[in-house]
Amino acid sequence: MLGSAIMNIDAWQMIGSMAALAFTLGFLDQLRMTFKTRNVEGLSLLQWVVFTAASGIFTAYYSHLDQWLMVSVSVFGVFCCLIMLGLIFRYRHKFRVIPGR
């Protein structure tokens, strides 16, 4: 079934897939830098919550359309976002300076 789904991809679906993949690769670099530096001070928690929700909604939407390439990219995006949220919660107070200490 997956093979036939891939064969039925038109040019616009391929362009959308490449855009989604590029967007998701941006998540990977942010994950790498955050894990390496353990600094999350400049990251917006709300932004990553919205990215996670949007990626989940895209997953459901593309699943409904039977666009399994986009589903796989969206699922990967959800996992990246969840990992980033975990890193934000883990490291959010590490660099906070407490006055008077």
The predicted pLDDT at position 16 comes to: 82
The predicted pLDDT at position 99 comes to: 63
Tokens 């039977």, located at residue = 66
For the chain, 101 residues long, the average pLDDT of each consecutive 10-residue run is: 58 83 86 93 94 94 89 91 95 68 55
- Residue 55: CB atoms within 10 Å: 23
Sequence-distant (≥ 6) Cβ neighbours of residue 91 within 8 angstroms: 34, 38, 39, 40
The predicted pLDDT at position 12 comes to: 83
pLDDT digits (tens, 9 = 90+) for 61-73: 999 988 888 898 8
3-state secondary structure 17-85: HHHHHHHHHHHHHHHHHHHHHCCCCCCCHHHHHHHHHHHHHHHHHHHHCCCHHHHHHHHHHHHHHHHHH
Spell out the domains of the chain, with CATH numbers in brackets.
2-91 (1.20.1280.290)
| Residue of 44, 45, 63, 43 whose CA lies nearest to 55 | 63
Q: What is the pTM of this model?
A: 0.77
